[in-house]
């Protein structure tokens, strides 16, 4: 009986294809919007997490400057860090895997008849551990090169491309790059890391030994940042507390003095940004879901019209012995079939739209079977909810009055 009722419902839908399509249009739009928003939101969340992780795993970034905002001063007049600070952190705080002092300067570099404005960073080989950096070719700095401030450098993929692209058989390794008033030998090339969380190109970089930057580029011993990589599985809270206490002691701050440095936990930053993205995804999905309710109202409207048009058919079925529940089931199945068909079409459209938009936005496409199945079930539920009243109206008709209907 159920199969026969389903065939009757599908025959009725096929009889008025255009009207059926217009009826389910709200469901199609609602389902496709919800799935697209959630899929893109999940992709954006993963992209944020990956970009934050590319800065370094379990990384604490310590920068000079007091807390910004109400009650906080800026960074003017704040003393910089010292190499000895990095050594003290490594030796005195447990759970620390590596510490890298870092200095930076924006400079135009020249090589191969070309020039390129980039960031020149000075640090030690510990910088590779703290930032999850790897080499595509070449080598790290030797201990003697770091100690003496030798004229050697490692360049990022963007710098290599801008300075050496088009040079047959020359990828820059072993070549000379002019930085300010001196030339340095390219001893390594970084493996590409792509965009960072804030949109910065991580491959647009030239790394030199810290002493090289201080003596040949900046002319001072400023260390602007300390990068502290924690051991896997370490709890950042006690490490940050110990780090703060140690730096306050080394910077001779009294109990009444505010911190003149900031400690940024990249994992907390990733969690915060991911949480914000998930909240926005939920809100956008909820807004898009409103169109499903609008689609449900459309189904109710067209089912009421269908009941009115088929009054004589309903009366005839009831007159020859059809039960009320059979008539109710017929129209209820018709409403559910309509909304489920809209859900299926919506899923197909959402899949194509999600793939296209994910490519445009530069985020990964993550197929989520649960949201697709949930949307399909919800659309079918909408059909059942809004189709019940018209179906019940049809089932409760008086056969005699229905047969008299013109």
Q: For helices 266-309 and 311-319, what crossing angle results, to 10°?
A: 70
Q: Note whether 219 and 171 are same-domain residues.
A: yes
Other C-beta atoms lying within 10 Å of the C-beta of residue 172: 22
What SS3 state is found at 72? coil
- Domain-located, residue 60: no
3-state secondary structure 18-87: HHHHHHHHHHHHHHHHHHHHHHHHHHHHHHHHHHHHHCCCCEEEEEECCCCCCCCCCCCCCCCECHHHHH
Question: Both tokens of residue 147?
Answer: 């100690």
Distance of CA 387 to the CA centre of its chain: 39
Question: Both tokens of residue 303?
Answer: 């089912």
* Full residue range of the structural domain in which residue 324 is found: 2-51+271-404
DSSP secondary structure string for all residues of 259-303? PSEEEEEHHHHHHHHHHHHHHHHHHHHHHHHHHHHHHHHHHHHHH
Q: Note whether 328 and 398 are same-domain residues.
A: yes
Q: Note whether 150 and 221 are same-domain residues.
A: yes
Cα dihedral 80, 83, 84, 86, rounded to 10, equals 90
Angle at 83 between CA 67 and CA 259, to 5 degrees: 20
Range from 96-100, 117-121, 255-259, 263-267 carrying the lowest mean pLDDT = 263-267
Residue of 125 and 13 predicted with greater confidence: 125
End residue of a domain, out of 201, 221, 250? 250
Kind and range of the H or E element at 101? strand 96-111
Q: How many domains does the chain have?
A: 2
pTM of the entire predicted model:
0.63
Q: Note whether 7 and 153 are same-domain residues.
A: no
SS3 of the chain: helix, strand, coil, percent, to 5: 55, 20, 25
- Domain-located, residue 195: yes
Residue of 223 and 306 predicted with greater confidence: 223
Please state, in angstroms and rounded to a whole number, the distance separating the CA atoms of residues 270 and 289. 28
Please state, in angstroms and rounded to a whole number, the distance separating the CA atoms of residues 376 and 26. 14
- Domain-located, residue 375: yes
- Domain-located, residue 196: yes
Q: For helices 311-319 and 324-361, what crossing angle results, to 10°?
A: 140
Question: Both tokens of residue 287?
Answer: 């807004």
Q: Note whether 85 and 222 are same-domain residues.
A: yes
End residue of a domain, out of 215, 250, 285? 250
Confidence at residue 103, expressed as pLDDT on a 0 to 100 scale: 92
Exposed, middle or buried by CB within 10 Å (0-12, 13-18, 19+), for 120? buried
Give 47-96 pLDDT, tens digit per residue. Answer: 777 766 666 557 888 988 754 444 443 445 678 898 899 999 999 998 88
Q: Are strands 152-155 and 182-190 parallel, antiparallel or unpaired?
A: parallel
Give 319-360 pLDDT, tens digit per residue. Answer: 777 777 777 777 788 888 888 888 899 999 999 999 999 888
Of the pLDDT bands very low, low, confident and very high (cuts 50, 70, 90), residue 243 is very high
């Amino acid at each position: 009986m159920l199969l026969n009722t389903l065939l009757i419902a599908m025959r009725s839908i096929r009889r008025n294809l255009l009207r059926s399509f217009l009826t389910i249009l709200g469901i199609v739009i609602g389902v496709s919007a919800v799935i697209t928003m959630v899929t893109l939101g999940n992709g954006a969340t993963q992209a944020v997490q990956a970009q934050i992780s590319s800065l370094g795993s379990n990384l604490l970034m310590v920068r000079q400057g007091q807390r910004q905002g109400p009650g906080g001063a800026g960074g003017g007049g704040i003393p910089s860090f010292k190499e000895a600070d990095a050594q003290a952190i490594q030796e005195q705080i447990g759970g620390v895997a590596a510490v890298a002092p870092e200095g930076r300067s924006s400079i135009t570099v020249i090589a191969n008849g070309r020039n390129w404005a980039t960031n020149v960073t000075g640090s030690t080989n510990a910088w590779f551990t703290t930032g999850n950096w790897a080499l595509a070719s070449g080598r790290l700095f030797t201990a003697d090169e770091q100690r003496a401030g030798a004229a050697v450098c490692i360049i990022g993929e963007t710098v290599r491309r801008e300075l050496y692209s088009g040079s047959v058989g020359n990828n820059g390794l072993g070549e000379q790059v002019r930085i300010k008033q001196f030339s340095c030998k390219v001893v390594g090339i970084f493996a590409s890391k792509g965009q960072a969380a804030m949109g910065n190109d991580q491959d647009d970089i030239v790394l030199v030994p810290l002493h090289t930057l201080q003596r040949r580029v900046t002319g001072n011993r400023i260390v602007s940042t300390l990068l502290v990589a924690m051991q896997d599985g370490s709890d950042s809270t006690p490490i940050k507390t110990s780090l703060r206490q140690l730096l306050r002691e080394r910077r001779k701050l009294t109990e009444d003095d505010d911190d003149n440095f900031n400690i940024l936990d990249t994992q907390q930053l990733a969690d915060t940004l991911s949480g914000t993205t998930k909240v926005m995804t939920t809100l956008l999905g909820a807004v898009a879901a409103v169109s499903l309710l609008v689609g449900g109202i459309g189904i109710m409207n067209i089912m009421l019209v269908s009941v009115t048009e088929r009054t004589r058919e309903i009366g005839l079925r009831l007159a020859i012995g059809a039960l009320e529940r059979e008539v109710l089931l017929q129209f209820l199945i018709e409403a559910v079939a309509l909304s489920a068909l809209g859900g299926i079409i919506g899923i197909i459209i959402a899949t194509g739209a999600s793939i296209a938009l994910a490519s445009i936005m530069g985020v990964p496409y993550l197929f989520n079977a649960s949201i697709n199945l949930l949307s399909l079930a919800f659309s079918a539920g909408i059909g059942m909810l809004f189709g019940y009243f018209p179906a019940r109206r049809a089932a409760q008709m008086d056969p005699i009055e229905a047969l008299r209907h013109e």
